[in-house]
């Protein structure tokens, strides 16, 4: 798949909430995930660590109210898109998160993701 094809499929699956399929279909097993400094988990190496981070994220949520995924922008082997999530978290309350998501593609797979948002 080209970077543009990966970008289109990434957005399509994220808009459907099919994040498990995103990781299985589009990610390299050796991918890296980077969150902002101070996040609960700042760096994950590989799909196994990313799955554990995702599980903890889901378990911290009381109620999911909705999300919005922006259209992708492709530059070379990088993809950028916006993501908004509205959720109620245990012990925190309802929050809206707006973030910028940047992905790096090599050999037809996402090898790195990095998220930018305010903590």
Q: pLDDT tens digits, residue range 52-86?
A: 998 888 899 999 999 999 999 999 999 999 999 99
Q: Parse the chain into domains and list their residue ranges.
A: 3-116
State how far Cα 38 lies from the chain centre: 17
pLDDT at residue 40 in the model:
85
Cα Rg of the chain (Å, integer): 14
pTM of the model: 0.93
pLDDT at residue 74 in the model:
98
Q: What does each C-alpha distance from 60 to 5, 19, 53 come to in angstroms?
A: 32, 17, 11
**Domain 3-116 of CATH type 3.10.450.50:** yes
- The rounded distance, in Å, linking the Cα atoms of 119 and 50 is 19
pLDDT < 50 positions in the chain: none
């Amino acid at each position: 798949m080209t970077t543009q094809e990966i970008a289109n499929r990434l957005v399509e699956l994220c808009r459907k909430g099919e994040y498990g399929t995103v990781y299985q279909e589009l990610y390299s097993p050796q991918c890296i995930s980077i969150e902002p400094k101070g996040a609960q988990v700042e760096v994950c190496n590989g799909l196994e660590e990313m799955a554990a981070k995702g599980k903890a994220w889901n378990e911290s949520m009381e109620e999911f109210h909705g999300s919005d995924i922006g259209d992708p922008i492709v530059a070379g082997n990088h993809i950028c898109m916006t993501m908004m999530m509205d959720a109620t978290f245990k012990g925190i309350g309802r929050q809206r998160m707006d973030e910028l998501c940047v992905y790096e593609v090599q050999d037809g797979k996402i090898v790195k993701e990095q998220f930018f948002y305010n903590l």
